Amino acid sequence: MAITEENPGYKWVGTRPIRPDGVEKVTGKARFGADLTLPGMLFGKVVRSPHAHARIVSIDTSAAESMEGVKAVITGADFPDLAANGAHPSEIDVANNAIARDKVLYEGHVVAAVAAITREQAEAAAKAVAVTYEALPHVLTVDEAMADDAPLLHEAMITKGVDPAPEEPSNIASKILHERGDLDQGFGEADEVVEREFTTKPVHQGYIEPHAAVADANSDGRAHIWCSSQGHFQMRAYTATVLGVSPGTLKVTAAEIGGGFGGKTVIYLEPLAVRLSQRAGRPVKLVMDRDEVFRATGPTSGTRIKVKMGVSKDGKITAAEVWMAYEAGAYAGSPVGAAGMTAIACYDIPNFVVEGYDVVCNKPRVAAYRAPGAPMAAFAVESVLDELARTIEMDPIDIRLTNAAVEGTQASYGPKFPRIGFVETLEAIKEHPNYTAELGPNQGRGVAAGFWFNAGMMSSATVHVNENGTATVVTGSPDIGGSRQSMALMAAEELGIPYESIKPIVADTETVGFNDVTGGSRVTLATGAAVVDACRLIVEDLRGRAAKTWDVEVDQVEWVDGQAQHVDGSQPPLSLNDLAAKSGRTGGPISANASLNSRGVGAGFSTQLCDVEVDPETGVTRVVRYLSAQDAGRAISPDYVEGQMQGGVVQGIGWALNEEYIHDTEGVMENPSFLDYRMPVASDLPMIDCAIVEVPNPAHPYGVRGVGEVGIVPPMAAVGNAIRDAVDVRMTELPMSPIKVLEALNENDG
């Protein structure tokens, strides 16, 4: 599609072979979190709070302990009191979220866990754990939580980021602020000003695989954990913290992971499984039910966001004022920080104030979800920008081109952008036939854009050359969407051997160097760079061995197409196969390690075009055509780049039209099932068209930016803008469900 730089003659990078782990995944052999069974293994079950906010008065486990088949029962008292041990507040929150000690802060909060011989015995024992609660008043939204007389979740929480610090505690964990220029002057220069207020509900990542962990503890204090996660090193660290042990006593093996989208970067079951296994002296498997997944994991924040923007007649944004409050759930840590940094990052705006609040409330602790924080902010900002474009009668792409951040623009969050591809994504949309496709009755077209930083962070890789000249590429980044393929493609390119000769694997925490989580769109970027570094060390080694073999200086040896060649052609080439077969005589096994802290990320931009049809009788919105243009930097594995783009868009369509957490007045979730929390299914959707834009990231050997996240930033605004175009109503609440659209239509008529 839209390619801004030619592929510089790559043989493997940018091709579409079959993924290395594919056959296992289409034949049912791949082992996911819940698929492992060990000899003597027990089944565990977690006991959860029915209250949104309550003090735990007592827990009586005696009845459960005496039941048939029950081998262990644990409560918060079975874990070290990190607060008493002077641990960091963030560690205390992780521990208290894993299992409550004195207070439960949301419905579904863990209070105890049991292990028994059969599932049925475990379920019966969990029901027999008698917990006495003293119910406390609760707060469910940012408005309730920020009210002056709101009941407090954490009696000692003083808002951070406010100078001077408030004297009284509140539910506001922190405030963020980004400012530039002079807001009054900016609005004074505007010809048109639009101000709107938006609300969004918590939504879940919705991975199809529930959380699962198997733990096998030894009497020497060591334990082995198999779990489905986005980062087994992270699971090891968090689990060790909660258990109060050294990370070195825990070995974590990454199961295949059935989706995460950020929601599997945190621990839930792992420390419970280890402690149950220690108490029972046998392996223990814990698997969540779907309703536990909804009630106690994920989601991302519900929000309230106000946006005011001004624009001159020629389309230049003169000022922007953004106020946002994000639900953190039970513990501090909503993604409002990232939201504040991304909200207006697509644009070069001279005067702005972006103010945000991280607010705790009695809902499950939020977890990362694909570009955490950015989609809600973009829904608000891109909706207002759409209104401004309509007010001055300017094309929605043109108003974005007029204000687009480019190389050298000082980003709203601070640094100057290096080479970025936002403009190219806008142009790719404009050039695509969808942009001028004919619209039918009740149909409308919307444009929206999004920005995400992409992460770098730490990665390690090891490459082994086998005796037949094939290679094993070892990393510690769980493969959640095809990253083994991108590792193998880059290794094949570097080593000059066929893709099929590379075996990429994801190793456990004791077999490969440290890797940060699979998140932040970072694996192809950072772990990929570690693989490239390790391959280059291998090539250096091989050139040295060839030089020795030929008795020449190493600078006389080049590595071309998988073989050592003498620069003047005076020697018959030595292939990787030849050198591997003789490795014992040229220095021993051929192997290299590389570890890095990423040398530079490449920001990601996406622009999307959505066509909807709205049924004016029912308010049902149907997406009829969709196009996503995204700057991948370089698409190492185009199949899976498109997959990330399409998947992000469809999650966004679900967020836009259907998905929301619904709580009753007592704080109990009313829709904790896939029946009532309705994610998009195949019959809801059209094909999702993709325009991969490639503006290489100069900080990566192949120009990779990372593609996993930014695709979910624009869809809610793109859908909302399309609804506006179709039926002349501006939707300001998510989800834009039929009832809300119908109400808005009726209001317009009235």
Partner 1 sequence: MPRTHITTVINGDETEFLTEDSTSLLNALRDEVGLTGAKEGCGTGDCGACSILVDDRVNCSCLMFAPEADGTAIVTVEGLADSGELHPLQQCFLEGAALQCGICTPGFLMAAKALLDKNPDPTETEIRYALAGNLCRCTGYDKIIRAVQEAAREMRGQ
Q: Which is nearer to partner 1, 29 or 416 (CB)?
A: 29
CA distance 437 to 433: 6
Q: Which is nearer to partner 1, 579 or 612 (CB)?
A: 612
CA distance 162 to 566: 66
Distance of closest approach, residue 120 Cβ to partner 1, in angstroms? 7
Q: Which is nearer to partner 1, 21 or 387 (CB)?
A: 21
Q: Which is nearer to partner 1, 261 or 357 (CB)?
A: 261
Residue 164: cis peptide before it, omega within 30 degrees of 0: yes
Tell me which residues touch partner 1 (CB under 8 A): 16, 18-19, 21-23, 25-32, 34-35, 37, 118-120, 205-210, 256-261, 287, 289-290, 480-482, 639-640, 642-644, 646-651, 673-675, 679-685, 687-688
Q: Which is nearer to partner 1, 25 or 416 (CB)?
A: 25
Distance of closest approach, residue 89 Cβ to partner 1, in angstroms? 33
Q: Which is nearer to partner 1, 357 or 640 (CB)?
A: 640
Distance of closest approach, residue 523 Cβ to partner 1, in angstroms? 13
Per DSSP, 720 falls in state H
Q: Which is nearer to partner 1, 34 or 471 (CB)?
A: 34
Centroid of chain to Cα 601: 16
Distance of closest approach, residue 187 Cβ to partner 1, in angstroms? 40
Count of C-beta atoms within a 10 Å radius of residue 414: 9
Is there a contact between 384 and 309 (Cβ–Cβ < 8 Å)? yes
User: Strands of 443-452's sheet, edge to edge?
Assistant: 443-452, 604-614, 621-631, 689-693
Distance of closest approach, residue 203 Cβ to partner 1, in angstroms? 12
Q: List beta partners, residue 287.
A: 212
Distance of closest approach, residue 183 Cβ to partner 1, in angstroms? 40
CA distance 389 to 749: 24
Q: Which is nearer to partner 1, 28 or 584 (CB)?
A: 28
Count of C-beta atoms within a 10 Å radius of residue 684: 15
Tell me, letter by letter, the H, E, C secondary structure of 171-201.
Answer: CEEEEEEEEECCHHHHHHCCCEEEEEEEEEC
Q: Which is nearer to partner 1, 142 or 490 (CB)?
A: 490
Distance of closest approach, residue 287 Cβ to partner 1, in angstroms? 8
CA distance 96 to 332: 12
Distance of closest approach, residue 734 Cβ to partner 1, in angstroms? 18
Nearest to 146 by CA among 174, 165, 184: 174
CA distance 683 to 676: 17
Distance of closest approach, residue 528 Cβ to partner 1, in angstroms? 17
CA distance 504 to 81: 41
Distance of closest approach, residue 630 Cβ to partner 1, in angstroms? 13
Q: Parallel, antiparallel, or unpaired for β 42-48 and 284-287?
A: parallel
CA distances 712 to 451, 608, 652, Å, are 10, 10, 5
Distance of closest approach, residue 539 Cβ to partner 1, in angstroms? 29
Q: How far apart are the first and last CA of the chain?
A: 46
Q: List beta partners, residue 594.
A: 461
Is there a contact between 309 and 319 (Cβ–Cβ < 8 Å)? yes
Tell me, letter by letter, the H, E, C secondary structure of 122-134.
Answer: HHHHHHHCEEEEE
CA distance 8 to 36: 44
Q: Is 653 helix (H, G, I), strand (E, B) or coil?
A: helix
Q: Which is nearer to partner 1, 386 or 611 (CB)?
A: 611
Q: Which residue has the tokens 């802060």?
A: 105
Nearest to 344 by CA among 326, 322, 329, 372: 322
Distance of closest approach, residue 117 Cβ to partner 1, in angstroms? 11
Q: Which is nearer to partner 1, 206 or 444 (CB)?
A: 206
Amino acid type, 498: P
Q: Which is nearer to partner 1, 104 or 650 (CB)?
A: 650
